[in-house]
Amino acid sequence: MSLLEVKNLQVRVEEREILHGLSLTVNPGEVHAIMGPNGSGKSTLSHVIAGKPGYQVTGGEILFKGEDLLEMAPDVRAAKGVFLAFQYPVEIPGVATMNFLRTALNAQRKARGESEYSTPDFLKKVREVAASLNIPQDMLRRGVNVGFSGGEKKRNEILQMALFQPSLCILDEMDSGLDIDALRVAADGVNALRSPERAMVVITHYQRLLNYIVPDVVHVMSKGRVVKSGGKELALELEASGYAQFEDAA
């Protein structure tokens, strides 16, 4: 069974249609890259998959492990293994990162009928993952993303992904704002999570990221549709020729 099946998805925001019949199938173990010009609807797709309010699905469906994803609340989706690393992670003053991570992890485990982590086990796990991503401990004591640099916010997203071990990881421009070293560390973090059961959807503007996280499939999105899909060489093609050829196709 496919992990994710998006079929002919139509989405409106405030009376304006953004996605016009988008289809995408992702199987376990695969890494898909989505590229496409600004405003083509990449973040919109990721938000609709994660369950963000404010989007009106007017047609099509999304199946996750064969279940109707659109019927589920965002937290139910998270517990079932959907994870979105946001393009713009929000700052949450007054909620300590550690407290947030523990509350989130235990909420997901509880929803799945698993036992909650004990405090020492949890701390040990977070410290391990943070160390592997070069995230200093003092960052974890601060409010969620509060005063984090752009790159630190992105690393905090990867940290959560590593902690929650979701089965579908959608990474919305995780490379933006990361310096070259941080990019390599974050990509290593993502690659460490690659497994036969798990799939990744990597949204990016830059081919460079795909040198680190090598995709099985590359999709080109334009004006709310997938207009072309191919192998990893498609990304190189785009790098050379840009999106102009697809604008017409859309």
Partner 1 sequence: MNLVLAKTDTGRAISDIFAVARDRLPGAGKIADARRQAFESYERAGLPHRRIEDWKYTDLRVLMRDVLPLAAAPDAAALKRAEAAAKAHAVEGARRLVLVDGVFAPKLSDVGRLESGLSIRTLRDVLEADDAALHAQLLAPDNSDAMVALNSAMMTDGLVIEIADGTALTQPLHIVHIASSAQPAAMFTRSLLKLGKTAGATLVESYIAADGAKSYQVHDALVLAIGDGARLDHVRLVEDGRDAFNISSSVVTLGTRAHFNTFGMTSGAGVSRYQAVIAVAGEHSRVETNGVNLLNGRQHADSTLFLDHAVPNCSSREIFRAVVDDRAHSVFQGRIIVRPKAQKTDAKMMTRALLLSDEAEADNKPELEIFADDVTCGHGATTGALDESLLFYLRARGLSEKEAQALLIQAFVGEAIEQIANDHLREMAIATAQRWLEARA
Ligand X SMILES: Nc1ncnc2c1ncn2[C@@H]1O[C@H](COP(=O)(O)OP(=O)(O)OP(=O)(O)O)[C@@H](O)[C@H]1O
Q: How many CB atoms lie within 10 A of CB 72?
A: 17
- What value, to the nearest 5°, has the Cα angle with vertex 191 and ends 87 and 44? 25
168 or 170: CB nearest ligand X = 170
Q: Find the farthest-apart pair of alpha carbons in the chain and give their distance in angstroms, rounded.
A: 57
Q: With CB under 8 A, what is the number of residues at the site for partner 1?
A: 30
Question: Binding segment for partner 1 among 67-75, 119-127, 208-216, 228-236 (CB under 8 A)?
Answer: 67-75
Binding residues for ligand X (CB under 6 A): 13-14, 18, 36, 38-44, 54, 87
117 interface partner picked from Mg ion, partner 1, ligand X, none, CB below 5 to 8 A per type:
none
CA-closest candidate to residue 79, choices 177, 167, 175, 142: 167
56 binds partner 1 (CB under 8 A): no
Contact stretch for Mg ion (CB under 5 A) within 3-11, 81-89, 120-128, 220-228: 81-89
Part in contact with Mg ion (CB under 5 A); list of ranges 21-29, 41-49, 136-144, 214-222 = 41-49
Region of 198 (left: φ > 0; alpha: ψ -120 to 50; beta: rest) is: beta
How far CA 117 is from CA of 13, 114, 124, in Å, comes to 39, 9, 11
**Binding-site string for Mg ion from residue 94 to residue 133, where x marks contact by CB under 5 A and - marks none:** ----------------------------------------
Min dist. Cβ of residue 103 to ligand X (A):
28
Whole-angstrom distance, CA of residue 161 vs CA of residue 30? 17
**145 scored as a contact of Mg ion (CB under 5 A):** no
Is residue 64 at the binding interface for partner 1, with CB under 8 A as the rule?
A: no
Partner interacting with residue 41 (select from partner 1, Mg ion, ligand X, none; CB below 5-8 Å by kind): ligand X
Q: What is the DSSP string of 141-172?
A: HSEETTT--HHHHHHHHHHHHHHH--SEEEEE
Q: Where are the alpha helices (DSSP H) in 57-215?
A: 74-80, 97-111, 119-132, 137-141, 150-164, 180-192, 207-212
The encoded tokens of residue 176 equal: 């933006």
The entry of Mg ion, ligand X, partner 1, none that residue 104 binds, CB within 5 to 8 Å by partner kind = partner 1
43 near Mg ion, rule: CB under 5 A: yes
Q: For partner 1, which residue of 23, 92, 231, 249 counts as binding (CB under 8 A)?
A: 92
- For β-strands 4-13 and 16-26, DSSP reports them as antiparallel
Q: What are the residues binding partner 1 (CB under 8 A)? A: 50-54, 73-75, 77-79, 84, 86, 89-90, 92-95, 99-100, 103-105, 107-108, 111, 143, 160, 164
